[in-house]
Chain A
Amino acid sequence: MSADAATAGVIHDIGYQRYTGQRLGRAGIIRALYWHSLRSAFGIGRGAKAKIIPVLTFVVICLPAVANAVAVARGSSRIVPYDTYTFQLRVVVMIIYIAAQAPELVSRDLRSHVLPLYFCRPLRRLDYPLAKLAAFITACLIMIEVPLLILYLGTIAQSHGGSAIWQQTRALVPGLLVGLMWAVLLAAIGLVLASLSGRRAYATGAIAIFFFLTWILAGILISVNTRNVVHAVRVAPGAGGGAGPGPGQIGPPVVVTQVPTNAAHLSGLASPFTILDGVRQWLGGTSPSPLPGVGSYGALYGVALLVLLAASIGGLAIRYRKAGVA
């Protein structure tokens, strides 16, 4: 390198400078790590390829809110509820987003064995997962709450009078709280699953499989535990949720009412998304969703939410208490 040093000449002669400026404490360092992680959750500061999925999923999850704004502008009333948004779309988009981005936050550092370089700096052992979790919760909040805000703004843009706006605001707040619940739980599950493997593909696969399988399982359990009650009808204009006569069925017209059994009320416990929805219904959310009520098990959903959250955060803490030392 002496040749390079010679050509660099004057610059090189500055010599080593001691750093005498300000040094951030632990809190400042955690904040720096938080920002760095939040940016990488959206591919900011990385190549264009890293931004494809965050941008795409964000655009898709905002579409219903934009559609609502258009509909409201044409005179319709609000077409999307705040507390469930568009349930199925939100589930699918969040699975894709988390499966793609949670490994971005934790698996890369595991893969390239960077952790010792964090832990040899003035951080405590659990500061690293804490900053990562906070950053990813924020990222999920952005994914979930920004569409709600677009929905709100699109709606009140056409509202006239303070009371109409107040009504929208009152409906929005529970929606935001449900979104917060989603963000915290999904981010925690996503990160703990991602931290199991340094290989991005495995981590992404584990997250996607876990969320999709449990989601499908909950759907199956709900449908097998929902009893179809067949009523013969004479006059049935729009009897609740029923179907018309079955194909090829002979006889008088019937209406099939789907009556969830107790087992169906419990089936939602099979998946994080239906657990979140169970808690929403327990707390008074009324918009329809794939989970047909929680019966008298609302509190159980609350407990399930807390247990799942505690297990995820605890798992993350255990994962990083030992990682990176060896």
Chain B
Amino acid sequence: MPITSIKGEFVNLRPLLVSDAELTYNWRHAARAKFLNQGAASVEQQASWIASRPASEFNFVIELKSGLAVGMVSLTGIDAINQHGESGRFLIGDEDAVKGAPVAVEAMKLIYELAFDQLGLIRICGTVAAENHLMIKWQKYLGMKEEGRLRNHLYLNGQFQDAIFLGLLVDEYRKVTLPRMNFLIATGRAKN
């Protein structure tokens, strides 16, 4: 399936481009990215990494409806036989631009719609650094189940730490995740 833009109410997802190398390099080296794997060592390496992404991956830049790029998210590891995939590379790079708006939750909702509704996957999984407490709490609230703990799986900021393995089945997505995502999106829509 060719990668295309996906439109939401608060955000759009558009394909990650080589021309995003400097922007995403800066995001990856900001303090907020401390829980992601170490990124490219230079803008040029970041550009090479983007250019080398296989067609089987869906790598997106999260844009506000104004067109401002605020983050990135991916759907990778798609296994058409076993019908599962991995969500990840999830980073809000411009925190100030997303305050008060359901940007992260709608971006993930669009990824889940791609995975479950368009690609027909029955399971999404991924790992989160054990010390990334906000993300773990967020993912669990949105229906992901903790399926395991990978000891010393990540080397971040000069030390090893565990990774939490999380998974979400399509039935759980429809029963738990989607209503909660819709609630959060509606909260962003509500007038104060």
> Are A and B physically bound partners?
no
Give A contacts to B, CB under 8 Å.
none
Give B contacts to A, CB under 8 Å.
none
